[in-house]
Chains A and B, each alone.
Chain A
Amino acid sequence: KAGVTQTPRYLIKTRGQQVTLSCSPISGHRSVSWYQQTPGQGLQFLFEYFSETQRNKGNFPGRFSGRQFSNSRSEMNVSTLELGDSALYLCASRYGTGSTEAFFGQGTRLTVV
């Protein structure tokens, strides 16, 4: 059974640009959550999607957005990139909305220059 797949693995962007990251959850999983990991702030929750609906959102500016498609694949977008957006972006997939394990992808390392 394939795990959570995130693409691309590495990305370098310039300040002011926008970026789209992709996440394919484990087959059969319908919940996808996104996290940002930085050395200073640790692992922080961005948002969660289930059945194409955003269920929860973390404390990030509106430049961070996401969506989920009918096949449960999810994308997150960051517009007007800032240097501080450089981070490891992680996607986690879960089977449903209950108290179940979350499985993470390998992450996308975004560097903003």
Chain B
Amino acid sequence: DQQVKQNSPSLSVQEGRISILNCDYTNSMFDYFLWYKKYPAEGPTFLISISSIKDKNEDGRFTVFLNKSAKHLSLHIVPSQPGDSAVYFCAASGNAGGTSYGKLTFGQGTILTVHP
């Protein structure tokens, strides 16, 4: 049962344009969401997070949008740079139903390639 899904395995974008990465979740107990960037054989790097009490959070070039009714979140990167090329994971957590915020449930990841 895949509770967090990233339906696009890959995304290719031109440098300077917007990258939009999407993520869907099914567990209504999730109320805290995070995005990570990852290179092979390295640990994920935290990018940005959002609590379910918000619908948008911005940090520099990164903006995360949360649509609770649709159980959908997205990460916008503007402008995209070649150095952004990596695998992007969304993750979800919650504190209800016997779980804890220390347990992150990850999507399968989306490979982002930004072309110069």
Contacts and interface: CB of A to CB of B under 8 A. Distances in A.
Task: Indicate, yes or no, whether A interacts with B.
Answer: yes
Interface of A: 4, 6, 31, 33, 35, 42-45, 48, 50, 55-56, 58, 88, 90, 92, 94, 97-107, 109
A88 B100 CA distance: 23
5 contacts: A43-B89, A45-B105, A55-B102, A56-B99, A102-B34
A97 B95 CA distance: 9
B102 A42 contact: no
A102 B100 contact: no
A106 B109 contact: no
Q: Which 10 A-B pairs have the closest CB atoms?
A: A48-B102, A104-B43, A99-B32, A43-B106, A56-B100, A33-B102, A56-B103, A104-B44, A107-B43, A45-B103
Interface in B19-58: 31-32, 34, 36, 41-46, 49, 51
A6 B104 CA distance: 19
